[in-house]
Amino acid sequence: MKFKRCTLDDCQHATGVVLIIDVLRAFSTAAYAFSRGAKEIYLVSGVDEALTLKGQIPNSKVMGEVGGLPPQGFDFGNSPTRILEHDLSGTTLIQRTGAGTQGAVRAVHAEVMLATSLVVAEATINVVREMKPDEITFVITGGMENDEDVVCAEFLKKQFTGQVMDANEVIRRVVASRDALQHMPDHPQFPKSDLDYCSRINVFDFAMPIVRENGQLVMRRRKDLYVV
């Protein structure tokens, strides 16, 4: 199995199986939203697009950020801590962020896409293994200088190849990453507890595949078939 890495700048060239990584915080927040009962999550690039789509989809809410903060009209920001405060049973979410959702939107040539973070790492790996791909591309949406997404890619690669990576080292690198600095000091939209929630490994037994439906990108949870 071969592995490639790319960023938002060149992910439009990625083909085959593409894992869109955003640890802090988009695809960690998405996983926690699913754990609170969200039905599905539409991924979009722009704020206006998100709000327009909300007006078209019954029982939908918008979550995400621009510059880390929720834009006017958004129901939720981009915080696992805050999203866990809500019952989202049956709710369709529309997510717009500056990194994670941009990677999904830009990876136009991907045949298979999964939104990826540490909290769904094992389930993602197991779903991809079922496909038996020759090659996997990691989209480092935070950029190569942003260590939380880089270390997630390293962790996934080692798991795919049967190697071991120390969990404490993974957590240390997430907490010491550039984006983690936004959580110091504590802020209502950047609670310190987000760092804990986002650096947990294999919290959930579902993966988050992204499919194209009627011109939209839709993410739903897929139960890990390997979990008993």
Q: What is the pLDDT at residue 60? A: 98
Q: What is the pLDDT at residue 227? A: 40
Whole-angstrom distance, CA of residue 61 vs CA of residue 50: 9
> Can you name the residues that pair with 222 across neighbouring β-strands?
207
Residue with tokens 């996934």: 156
139/182: higher pLDDT: 139
Mean pLDDT of 168-178: 96
Type of residue found at 96: R
Domains of the chain: 2-222 (3.90.1560.10)
Q: What is the pLDDT at residue 182? A: 86
